[in-house]
A and B are shown apart, each in its own frame.
Chain A
C-alpha cells in the first residue's frame, strides 16, 4: 500500500512497481523485468559482479554511505567457512520509514538483490533481520520467499545454474541499537544487542562468525537495477561517487510529507518546496535534519544543498538514512534536543560508559534547561559532555547522540540561553551555585 501520493518529480527506479496491482506477487515481478538483473549476474564471474557494483557508485543506504561494491570485495571468498548475506531491516533511525515501503510494495526486488550479492561472494544463505514492530512485513517477506522456492528462484540449483541459496526472515524485538551492524549480528544469535569490537568486520567474521555481506534494505533493492540497466546508467543518475536515487522520507512541518524517490543530489530546498509542497500553513523554514535524528541540524540558510553524501558532509551534516526532518519557525529547539537525547538514552545498550553515562547526564542537564531550572554553565556543559562522547564508544550510538546535540547548541545557542532563569545573568560565573 502507498501511504502518500507520489510526486511527479520522482525518478522511479526502486519504486517502479509501487502502485501496480499485486506488486507483491512474483508474477507481477516477473512481468516487469524481475530477475533480469540476476540472470545477467549469473553469466558473470564473482569479480565481474563486484566490479559492476563498484562502477555503479552505489553507497550504503543505512547511514554511513560506505561503497557497497568495496564492502562486498572485502569478503574472503576462498574462506572454507560458509558465507552469509544479512539484510538490515531494523529501520530504527528516527525520521526514517523507507525500508518498510520497499519491502511492503516490492519484496521480490529485495530478494533479487540478495541473490546477486550471494552470487558475488559465494553465500549459500541469507537472513532478513526485520524490526519486531514490522510484523506484517515479516508475513509479506515470508510469502514472497515461499513463492520463490516454489518457482525455483530460491533453494537448490536456482534456475539451473548450480547455485544454491536459502533466505530466512528473523525478527527483532524492540531495540534501536540492534540496527547497528555488529549488535544486529549478536541479536541474530539470540543475545542482547551489544556491539562487537571491530576489527574483525562482518565481511570477515559476521553472522555466526562467518564472512558476511551486511547491507541496508534499500542498498540491496538498488542492486537489481544496476544489473538490469547497467552500472553506468545507475551511476549517471547522481553526481560523481553518488550513484542512483534515494528514497527520501520527508517528515515534519511540510504540506506533503511522504517517501519519495529522487535522484541523488536533488536540491534540498527544492525537495521541501516542490516535492513536499512547502512549509505547512505558509510558514517559514527554520531548520532541517537531513538524514535521520543522528545527523547535525542545518539552519534554513544552509539548505540550498545537493542531497548527496559528499555535499551534505561538506555542509557539516550527513545524508544518513535519508530521513529529512523539516522544521518551521515555531519549532522549540531545546525541546527537540531533549527529545532526541531521551531517545538515545533509552536506546543506549549500556555496555560502554561514555555512552551509557553520557546520554543519561545529557538528558538530565537538557531537561533542567528546558524546565527553566538550568545553570549558566549548563550550556557549555552540554557541549562538553557531547564532545567527550564523540569517537569514544564501541559503536557509533554515542556519536549519534552527540552530533545533533552539539549542532543544536552551536546553531541555536540563544534559545538555550533564553531558557535559563532570568535572575541569574547568563555567563556570570560568580553567581553559579555549585552542587
Chain B
C-alpha cells in the first residue's frame, strides 16, 4: 500500500531515530501517524508496517489492542473526545458529555450516520486547569460550556 510523501518522510525519519537493530521501536509512532492518514489501523496497514519493521501482524495486534488511541474502525471525521476525569468532572465534564450526546444524537462510542462526527469519553488529557476540556481530533478546547460546544459543533457542520 502507498502512503503520502509527507508520511513516508516521517517514517524515514523514525526509522533513523533508534539504535541499529531496534527498528521495532518505530512501531507505535508509525501506527498512530498511519492511522491519522488512513483513518484506522486496517489490515492493510498492519501488513504493510509488519513488513517494513520485519515483525509479525500478531505483534502489531498486541500493540493495537493495548493503546486506547489506536483503533481498527474509523472514527468520525471530527472525533469529539470529552474528558470526564476528576478535574473536568468537578466543573461539569460529565454533563458536557451528556450534552454532546443529545446535540449529536449519538451515544459515547458511536458515530453519526453521515460519518461526520464521533463521540468518545476520554481520560485526563492534560488540560485540567482549563476544564472542562475536550479535543476535536488533536485540537484542544478549554473551558467548554454547553453553549460553546453547540457553537463548535454547528461551526464544524457548516464547514462542509
Contacts and interface: CB of A to CB of B under 8 A. Distances in A.
B128 interface: yes
B3 interface: no
Contacts of A59: none
B129 A325 contact: no
Given A132-B69, A133-B138, A172 B126 contact: no
Given A132-B67, A133-B126, A190-B63, 11 more contacts: A3-B129, A4-B129, A92-B123, A94-B124, A133-B69, A136-B138, A168-B18, A171-B28, A190-B25, A191-B63, A250-B129
A391 interface: no
Interface string A94-123: 111101100000000000000000000000
Interface string B122-143: 0111111111000100100010
A170 B66 contact: no
Interface string A231-262: 00000000000000000011111000111000
A175 B87 contact: no
Contacts of A331: 90
Contacts of A293: 85-86, 124
B86 A175 contact: no
A47 to B, nearest CB: 27
Contacts of B68: 173-175
Question: Which of A174, A335, A339, A347: most chain B CB closer than 10 A?
Answer: A174
B100 interface: no
Interface string A160-177: 000000001011111110
Given A95-B87, A188-B25, A189-B24, A249 B17 contact: no
B123 A343 contact: yes
Contacts of A97: 126-130
A168 B24 CA distance: 15
B123 A95 contact: no
A336 interface: yes
A325 B138 contact: no
B127 A208 contact: no
Question: Which of A96, A97, A189, A190: most chain B CB closer than 10 A?
Answer: A190
B22 interface: yes
A252 B91 contact: yes
B66 A193 contact: yes
B90 A94 contact: no
B138 A253 contact: no
B129 A258 contact: yes
A343 B128 contact: no
Contacts of B18: 168, 208
A340 B24 CA distance: 34
Contact of B26 (A190, A250, A289, A343): A190
| Among all A-B residue pairs, the 8 with the closest Cβ atoms | A174-B69, A190-B27, A174-B68, A251-B87, A173-B67, A94-B124, A190-B24, A135-B138
Interface in B109-160: 123-131, 135, 138, 142
B40 interface: no
Nearest to B32: A173
Nearest to B55: A190
9 contacts: A94-B124, A96-B124, A96-B128, A175-B67, A192-B63, A193-B66, A251-B90, A323-B128, A325-B87
A172 B85 CA distance: 20
Interface string A407-429: 00000000000000000000000
Contacts of A6: none
Interface of B: 17-19, 22, 24-29, 31-32, 53, 55, 62-63, 66-70, 84-87, 89-91, 123-131, 135, 138, 142
A18 B82 CA distance: 28
A339 B67 CA distance: 20
A344 B84 CA distance: 13
Contacts of A250: 129
Interface string A332-367: 000110011001001101000000000000000000
A339 B138 contact: no
Given A94-B87, A293-B85, A249 B27 contact: no
B86 A339 contact: yes
Question: Which of A91, A176, A192, A259: most chain B CB closer than 10 A?
Answer: A192
A347 B66 CA distance: 10
A173 B66 CA distance: 9
B8 to A, nearest CB: 16
A347 B124 CA distance: 11
A251 B128 CA distance: 6
Nearest to A193: B66
A252 B22 CA distance: 43
B126 A170 contact: no
A4 B131 CA distance: 11
B69 A336 contact: no
A187 interface: yes
A192 B62 contact: yes
B70 A325 contact: no
Interface in A299-323: 323
